[in-house]
Chains A and B, each alone.
Chain A
């Protein structure tokens, strides 16, 4: 199973079996001392990662860069297409073929859905999807799973409450699919206009999970092991007053967490705006900064595996 990772594109979480994901998480666990800087590694010495970010990103880009550097490799690329040949109208296919000749692996963030799959078709080197429009963001899903497993000891059996924009949120669709694959219990909490799309619910049900959906966050939190919060974007609401009302009803603060289980963890893919009050940061529930750090060991694991340095 593990030898299948060498040269593999990391495009969609759907491409992975549960055993494969667990293997990635195991390797990420072993990467932790290097990710923290406690140990040094030359595992990817001499290797070059092409980093193509057609859209702004802070965490994903920096953590890929950190992951490559920690393993002794180097990163080159751009973090906005302005000034590159892309701005002159070059197709993604041509850019990929060019970068493919300079690098050993390519990480791509692009505004169009399906861009990473297309890049994979034109590249001979492995392509890692760092988010394609409203589509997939598999490395985010893996670091979310890693964080849950690390905090709770396992993924299956946990009751995960996912709250926020479930209609358009990129991370929640692939995360909920992966959690369903692991047999976690799911509850979706969102304003009525931003509920999980029906076809997505059906897909999750087809995996033998019966997710609950609702609008009452306080009720859902009482029984949660994991509270996964996502941002509700202002631009989804034509009426600013309506947005204020909804945003207020879905804010996580110490009062809301009063009735939560002691060991419940709060996660967020970040950046947050005002959906989690800063007062939560000091509580033992807050895991979102650790979650952001976990992007480094998980991406180290994936890079080392697709480049054949680790089985």
Chain B
């Protein structure tokens, strides 16, 4: 009999194939904190056929919006999203790094105009997907330290 370390969920989202060691970053960037209203399960360092090891996050009663998916793609580009409805996988897809990143990251350059009090969303073009390299369209600063700058 198969042994489940974490039981299946009725409704919600399973984020699978998260790059090993980044599950807690995923929770932080999608805003899962102590005031969350449902059960959140985190599996770290799980054997994976594809990558050797992986992390998994299960969030009950919540489906992620496109901005949250973009954030996950930035820090774990191979992650897969499983939308669960009534214990069944209703949708399954791999996150995709968009060509343009708008409003989900701040520029790592403290001298950039977008870090001042201006009515503008920081915007980046993706220069490379592996490793993820972003260039600010305003100040041209190149950022590779993604998780530190996700808002």
Contact = CB atoms under 8 A, between A and B. Distances in A.
B64 interface: no
B111 to A, nearest CB: 5
Contacts of B119: 91, 93
Contacts of B109: 113
Contact of B112 (A14, A114, A121): A114
B112 A113 contact: yes
A232 B134 CA distance: 31
Given A91-B118, A93-B118, A93-B119, A117 B112 contact: no
B59 to A, nearest CB: 36
B120 interface: yes
Interface of B: 107, 109, 111-114, 116-120, 136-142
Interface in A75-106: 91-93
A114 B142 contact: no
- Of the listed residues B113, B120, B139, B141, the one surrounded by the most CB atoms of chain A closer than 10 A to its CB is B113
A270 interface: no
A12 B113 contact: no
Interface string A98-142: 000000000000111111011001000000000011111000000
A92 B113 contact: yes
Interface secondary structure of B, over-half rule: loop
Contacts of A279: none
A199 interface: yes
Contacts, number: 54
Contacts of A135: 139-140
B120 A118 contact: yes
A134 B111 contact: yes
Nearest to A91: B118
Interface residues of A, number: 20
Given A135-B139, A199-B142, A114 B117 contact: no
16 contacts: A12-B140, A93-B119, A93-B120, A110-B113, A113-B109, A113-B111, A113-B140, A114-B112, A114-B136, A114-B139, A115-B113, A117-B138, A121-B120, A134-B111, A135-B140, A136-B140
Contacts of A92: 113, 116, 118
A200 to B, nearest CB: 11
Nearest to B120: A118
Interface in A21-70: none
Given A91-B119, A93-B119, A118 B113 contact: yes
Given A133-B111, A134-B111, A113 B138 contact: yes
A30 B116 CA distance: 41
Contacts of A117: 113, 137-139
B45 to A, nearest CB: 34
Contacts of A112: 111-113, 116
B82 to A, nearest CB: 39
A135 B136 CA distance: 12
Nearest to A135: B139
Given A113-B141, A114-B114, 8 more contacts: A14-B140, A91-B118, A93-B119, A113-B139, A114-B113, A117-B139, A118-B138, A135-B139
Contacts of B140: 12, 14, 113-114, 135-136
